[in-house]
Amino acid sequence: MNPFSMRREYAWRSIFVTAWLLLFALVILAQIIRIQRSPEAELFRQQAGEYAMVRRIVYPERGKIYDRKGNLLASNEVVYTVGANMPEVVDKEALAREVSAHLGLRYEEVYERLLNPYGLIFVPLAGFVPAEAAQALRERYEQLWRELEEERPFPLSGLEFRPMLQRSYPENDLASNVLGFFNREGRGIFGVEEKYDSLLAGTPLEIWIPQDPNRVAEIPRVPDGASLILTLDRNLQAAAEETLDWALGEYGARNGTIIVMDPRSGEILAMATAPRLNLNEFWNYDKYYRQAYQFNPAIAMQYEPGSVFKVLTMAAALDSGLVTPSTTFYDTGLIVVGGVPIQNWNRRPWGEQTMQGCLQYSLNVCMAWLSTSMGKETFYGYLQRFGIGRPTGIDLAGETSGRLKLPGDQDWYEVDLGTNAFGQGVAVSPIQMMAAVSAIANKGRMVRPHVLRSIVSDGQQVDIAVEPVGMPIRPETARLLSEMLATSLEREASLALVPGYRVAGKTGTAQIPVEGGYSFTETNVSFVGWGPVDDPRFIIYVWLERPSVSIWAGETAAPVFSEMAQRVVVLLDLPPDAIRLQVSTR
């Protein structure tokens, strides 16, 4: 064979093999690219990422609660769940012995849990363990580890401390009725904690957490729940609670409440009730309260207000044009409404009186004459505009609506038109009564009472605006009535007077309904007052249940108002009228 022909044949063979090899390589490369871009590959990459990540629901830290001056009222603290990682446990008896001794548990119960873990890998032995107790047990663990360094297995192997957050209340029972509490089931109960539960709790997020510690920066941040700034003044709240406790002891009352509010804005500065619960031991709730309304009777209890209600009746009569302060009425000591005789509190006539005298001497007959003269439509129209018979809308859980019977209701009778005028046959709550009367202190305007001042969320603070409710009476009526009430207190040298400050107000002595009528030996007493009269900065409502020293509000609730008002003017830094008016005229 020609050598030239042989070389050419070998060359073609080499080209052919090379081409096949190149084609084979291109096929492999195409297959690699196809696999990498296939849906199966994408799923594989996702699964690989998942195996390097842990899927968790992360709950934000609950928001804090402060008073208006930044004093902390509710926060969170770290507590621990102490338990056993069962695969690592080597000496159940030793573990049960140490845990029970340090945490005050029964050894038999702890040992039983370790013997019967019911398939659990981590067995909780004690929950909500305070940091101090957990630290003491941890130090014991470390001590034994050092002492038994040469002896293995270690008897406390498997002991674990898992941190968690628990609600804490630095002031214990201060303002407990306003705050409410956060229980171990993860719910806000009563007060602010319940009303703003979702706001405080924040929004839980389901996130992927990398198991690689070098990727910790990839963990997304879960925003904390919103923090709340309340309208309460911590010092005023403490003063109100001290004053109430003194009043209950001084006058032998079963219960009571004191509320302090700014009538211009509706901000609740203090709201004291009794008894009060140490919120850090909320599980003792049943030891203090038999009914839910007892937790905060200032908003949840309804009762007949008695003579303090006469302020609203007189306001309606003045505003409707029925009377003026100088209008006279001849009191015979008796008026018949709906066939039922109505008498004064002392069952005697007072002769000719102006409207000023009717208020000053708190005459039932005069008030019944006013309501019947106005007529059903006018009288009850004013009461409804004052908010009687419906909740105020205060931002606390558990508010009652009270009860105002109206003409046409099955249980309304003609006599109610007379008795309602002086606070019988109508049910209110303390906050409802206070909100209604505050319109007189605030130039005829009503604002909604509230305890939330600001919301702080993710570094931003949002202030709560004043929410007007209505204007049940004209400013002129409010001014006239305030002057009449202030003059009444001054003329009778009332125990409610506040040295250096001119105040307006009214007592309320309410007979308590019993089977077949009203008790003549037990009363609920109240006083509502505000000041300074020319420029009111506070309104105070005092209510005492069944005082034993005296049944009369003028001898019980009135001096409590004076005591509280004297503390309010100091804590609010309000100068006496003489100094304030002298400065304002310069």
Q: What is the pLDDT of residues 175-211, one digit of tens each?
A: 999 999 999 888 999 999 999 999 999 887 766 666 5
* Structure token digits, residue 67: 């008073």
| 141 and 252 assigned to the same domain | no
CATH code, domain carrying 142: 3.90.1310.10
| 126 and 239 assigned to the same domain | no
* Structure token digits, residue 91: 């000496």
Find out whether 177 and 33 touch, Cβ atoms under 8 Å. Answer: no
State which of 170, 188, 207 marks the end of a domain: 170
Instruction: State which residues form the domain around 265.
Output: 234-281+294-584
CATH code, domain carrying 301: 3.40.710.10
In this prediction, residue 210 carries a pLDDT of 60
Phi, psi of 489 (to 5 degrees): -65, -40
**Highest-pLDDT range among 46-50, 96-100, 145-149, 424-428:** 424-428
Q: What is the pLDDT of residues 273-303, one digit of tens each?
A: 999 999 999 999 999 999 999 999 999 999 9
C-alpha distances out from residue 14 to 1, 182, 379, 519, Å? 19, 85, 116, 123
Give percent above pLDDT 90 in the chain.
Answer: 64
**Binning pLDDT at 50, 70 and 90, where does residue 308 land?**
very high
In this prediction, residue 9 carries a pLDDT of 61
| 439 and 560 assigned to the same domain | yes
Q: What is the average pLDDT across 49-78? A: 82
State which of 123, 143, 170 marks the end of a domain: 170
d(CA 202, CA 195): 14
* Mean of all residue pLDDT scores within the chain: 89
In a domain, 364, yes or no: yes
Whether residue 51 is predicted with pLDDT greater than 50 in this model: the reply is no
Whether residue 357 is predicted with pLDDT greater than 90 in this model: the reply is yes
C-alpha distances out from residue 370 to 162, 313, 317, 335, Å? 69, 7, 6, 11
Helix (H, G, I), strand (E, B) or coil at 230: strand
Higher pLDDT among residues 157 and 509, named by residue: 509
d(CA 495, CA 490): 10
d(CA 142, CA 144): 5
d(CA 407, CA 416): 9
| Angle formed at CA 130 by CA 129 and CA 135, multiple of 5 degrees | 95
Instruction: Give the count of domains, the chain.
Output: 2
In this prediction, residue 59 carries a pLDDT of 73
d(CA 472, CA 444): 6
| 444 and 547 assigned to the same domain | yes
| 314 and 455 assigned to the same domain | yes
Q: What is the pLDDT of residues 453-500, one digit of tens each?
A: 999 988 899 999 888 899 999 999 999 999 999 999 999 889 999 999
d(CA 280, CA 291): 20
